[in-house]
Amino acid sequence: MRFIFKTDYNQDIRLFKHGGAVFWYALLIVALIAAPLVLDRYLMSQATFVFIYAIAGIGLMLLSGYTGQISLGHAAFFAVGSYTEAILLEKGFPFLLSLPISGLLAGAVGVVIGLPALRLAGIYLAIATLAFAFIVEEILARWESVTNGTLGMLVEPINIFGVELFREWHLYYVCLAVLVLVVLGAVNLLRSPTGRAMIAIRDSEIAAQSMGVNLAKYKTIAFAISAAVTGLAGALYAHRLGYISPEAYTILLSVEFLLLIVVGGLGSIHGAVFGAIFVIVLPQIVSILKGYMPSQIAEQTGIDAGIFGLVIVLFMLYEPLGLYGRWVKIKLYFSTFPMYRKATFKRQKSYTKTERLR
């Protein structure tokens, strides 16, 4: 077991709680930087997808996992990011400008979509955001003068200060860098008043309000940040695909994002990253599984979506803390061995236990 003796409030505030954590995160970063040396093109592109999904996942996590506002429309913010990026590059904007603009525009759309969220909750909000996603999908297909409709658009390669970054490993590093920045921003947000206000709204709107949290303001902020981060991921996704068209941004993508945060573990940034890995790996597992299914079942349309849905339900029932929760439990098991108690993560029945444990 690790006991940390604290001597300073800064110790609770700072990013890494102890020297060991600094070491492991540093090692992870070094490994990720070195990885392109050993990964083949295919694995590198899968890793890039993981980074992009992790960024989008953090976006949705901030809104649903931390603020408690469900969204089935995040494919739309993702699409706004992608198309803005493609269109701006076509108009000759440099990447270092087009990327932030893509995020900001998606964020602005998020503010507009956040407006009904001030009045709706739960399933109604899910339906409203779902409707919004359908509208965006439709606009992408119909607004041909700008989006080129169903024919889609080619995405020009990243260009930083005149240097064209078109290789697989270029994009890998760009996405990794954006992911690291997004993680840092999210963690900072969560250890400051804005993040606490979001969590407060998730757990009790009435108490949050009575302690001074302006619900409308913070829900709008959460929608804006979430949409902006997802928009950034969308912009990178456009580069990863090289060619974008409306069918890349369907409701299935929104469901994938939802699957990502639920499986990863709601209310955790680690969870968004774990979930991204899972969502990228899952379709490959599914396609392997399909090999064993009778072809009448394997070839049904919607079987993928069905499996995603099933996975969401199973996680909600059996591992509500997600993969990250499972990881924490395993870690605790080893660090407290042989004293780990199965009940460690059980909720106490608060009404039956009123004595204070001193």
Task: Give me the residues that bind other proteins (CB under 8 A), please.
Answer: 9-10, 12-13, 185, 188-189, 191-197, 199-200, 202-204, 206-215, 221, 225, 267, 347-348, 350-351, 353-358
**Bridge partners of residue 160, in order along the sequence:** 163
Q: Of 10 and 296, which has the nearer Cβ to other proteins? A: 10
CB of 307 to other proteins, least distance (A): 29
Residue appearing with tokens 């909600």: 316
- Give CA–CA dist 256/286, Å, rounded: 14
Best CA proximity match to 222, nearest among 113, 119, 307, 313: 113
Tell me how far, at minimum, the Cβ of 111 lies from other proteins, in Å: 13
Helix ranges, the chain (H): 10-13, 19-34, 41-60, 74-90, 95-117, 122-142, 144-147, 168-190, 193-203, 205-210, 215-241, 251-264, 269-290, 295-298, 303-318, 322-336
Please provide residue 165's backbone torsions phi and psi, each rounded to the nearest 5 degrees: -110, 90
Q: Is the distance from CB of 129 to CB of 227 less than 8 angstroms?
A: no
- Which DSSP letter does residue 157 get? P
Q: For other proteins, which is the closer residue by CB, 17 or 142?
A: 17
DSSP-derived secondary structure letter, 300 = S
44 neighbors 62 (Cβ within 8 angstroms): no
d(CA 4, CA 23): 16
Name which of 109 and 201 has its Cβ closer to other proteins.
Answer: 201
Provide, rounded to whole angstroms, the least separation between the CB of residue 10 and other proteins. 7
Min separation Cβ 117 and other proteins, Å: 17
Gap between the Cα atoms of 330 and 301, Å rounded: 38
Closer CB to other proteins, 202 or 240, in the complex: 202
- For other proteins, the closer of residues 45 and 194 by Cβ is 194
- Least Å distance, CB 15 to other proteins, is 9
Shortest spacing between CB 13 and other proteins, in angstroms: 5
| Cβ at position 225, least distance to other proteins in Å | 8
The single residue listed with the structure tokens 């804005």 is: 194
Give the residue with the Cβ less far from other proteins, 107 or 246. 107
Q: Helix (H, G, I), strand (E, B), or coil: what is residue 164?
A: strand
Nearer to other proteins, 91 or 342 (CB): 342
Q: Least distance to other proteins from the beta carbon of 213, Å?
A: 6
Nearer to other proteins, 58 or 136 (CB): 58
